[in-house]
Amino acid sequence: MKKLLAITVLGLLLSVNAYAGCIKGDCKNGFGKYQDKHKSIYVGNFKNKKFHGQGIYTWSDKTKYKGDFKNGLRDGKGIFVIPNGLEFYGNFKNDNYFKGLMKFISGNSYEGEFQNGRFHGDGIWTSKAGQKYIGQFKNGRRNGNGVLKKVDGAIYKGNFKNGLFHGKGTYTYPNKEFYSGEFKNGKIIKN
């Protein structure tokens, strides 16, 4: 009898821990509270059994998204905060960062466009120390035209490739002397 009782209690405990579903309200076409099998919780609007409209999704590790959902995905304006210090304020499209401000635990920040979760398009990257890049990004790196202002006062205006000075540009040293011409892989090309 004790063995049967222990198996029954264990079965109940396991079924509660593995529960996924609507906890409260209307999780089909209305407002409700839903918990998935990983104990992440969504509170907000539903349409056709999917997160749709305004809502808050909190992962079991306390990562949180508050904002717009469309067909079960983050889509529209929102705030995304990870407990390790990453914060994103802006627009999402199909569950990816699209355009906004991302702050890192290091104190660095990026404001601009994204593609597939990476800096892509026009943006501004600022370091905690004060270095700033204003320009184009591709696949998370400086690519295209931009301006890099270093902490020591040096400024580079011109083309970048894979994060390095590349192509035509002007490098102005802190003492205001400058070089204007060609760069390749971050180095001056002298004729």
pLDDT in single tens digits along all 191 residues of the chain: 444 333 333 333 333 444 689 999 999 999 999 999 999 999 999 999 999 999 999 999 999 999 999 999 999 999 999 998 899 999 999 999 999 999 999 999 999 999 998 999 999 999 999 999 999 999 999 999 999 999 999 999 999 999 999 999 999 999 999 999 999 999 999 86
Do both 128 and 88 map to the same domain?
no
Distance CA 152, CA 81 (A): 33
Do both 84 and 116 map to the same domain?
no
Q: Which residue, 70, 103, 136, sits at the end of a domain? A: 103
Check if the beta carbon of residue 120 is closer than 8 Å to that of residue 114. Answer: yes
Q: Does 11 reside within a domain?
A: no
Range of the domain at 112: 106-191
Do both 111 and 164 map to the same domain?
yes
Strand partners, 172: 155, 178
Do both 157 and 191 map to the same domain?
yes
Q: How many helices (H) and strands (E) does the chain have?
A: 1, 16
pLDDT score, position 107: 95
Do both 111 and 60 map to the same domain?
no
Distance CA 146, CA 137 (A): 9
pLDDT score, position 20: 84
pLDDT score, position 2: 42
pLDDT score, position 191: 67
Q: Which residue, 84, 103, 122, sits at the end of a domain? A: 103
Distance CA 98, CA 138 (A): 14
CATH number (domain holding residue 150): 2.20.110.10
Do both 69 and 146 map to the same domain?
no
- For 13-44, b/e burial (b = at least 16 CB within 10 A) is eeeeeeeeeeeeeebeeeebebbeeeeebbbb
- How many distinct structural domains can be found in the chain? 2
pLDDT tens string 132-161: 999 999 999 999 999 999 999 999 999 999
Q: Which residue, 103, 126, 152, sits at the end of a domain? A: 103
Q: Does 14 reside within a domain?
A: no
